[in-house]
Amino acid sequence: MKAILRAMLLAFTVSLHSLPAFAELARLGDEALSGISGQGGIYLSGDISINEMGGPVENSYFGRCDDGDKKCGARFAYRLKENGGWMVLDDIRGNFAFEGLTLRVRKVDSGFGGDGEQFNRDVLELGLPNTVRFNDVQFKISASSTARPTDPGFQQTDIFSVDMRGEVVMEGNLLVFPAGNP
């Protein structure tokens, strides 16, 4: 009987300790808030697939990925000079996943060989995720005479092709500085 009473007393004691604590919320004044600091930011995780089966356009140039005579995949074109040629990421497709990409605003007011003190402004900080997993990610880096392969006079020179599988460890931060004067 003593063992049963001890067990009941122990269960009662444990249940008292597991009851939620209630506290009243109170406003903090400006003076109290001035002594509190915190961090803001965004933590992102994702799993992104790009044109695994082919893009939305099917014509004489683009088609499904299982058609060897057609191009399938996204295209990103950018011009380096106003009247210059185009650099392109072409035939972009595959899947990549990441966990822990962070975005926050950071003030740069020191470092950078003394330039940070003169800069003294906010920048966007991208905290790189620890591991990025690539599954059949493919793309080509090319030079092109036009932005689109369907434009008149299109000629493209593929510089190199990339095919990635596995994991890549990324460490550090990327700072994005605003252009122009404050």
In this structure, is residue 181 part of a structural domain? Answer: no
Q: Give, in order, the Cα–Cα distances in Å from 95 to each of 23, 90, 121, 165.
A: 47, 15, 36, 9
The pTM for the full model equals: 0.53
In this structure, is residue 26 part of a structural domain? Answer: no
Q: Decide: residue 88, CB within 10 A, 0-12 exposed, 13-18 middle, 19+ buried.
A: buried
In this structure, is residue 6 part of a structural domain? Answer: no
160 vs 156: CA distance, rounded Å: 12
In this structure, is residue 142 part of a structural domain? Answer: yes
141 vs 161: CA distance, rounded Å: 6
In this structure, is residue 12 part of a structural domain? Answer: no
Number of domains in the chain: 1
In this structure, is residue 1 part of a structural domain? Answer: no
Structural domain boundaries enclosing 115? 42-176
Give the pair of three-digit tokens for residue 164: 């990635």
The residues facing 139 across adjacent strands are 162
In this structure, is residue 18 part of a structural domain? Answer: no
Taking only the tens of pLDDT, the chain with its 182 residues reads 444 444 444 444 444 444 454 556 678 777 877 777 666 778 888 888 887 666 666 777 777 777 777 777 778 899 878 888 899 988 888 888 988 888 989 888 988 888 888 888 899 998 888 888 998 898 899 999 988 888 898 899 999 999 999 998 888 888 888 876 55
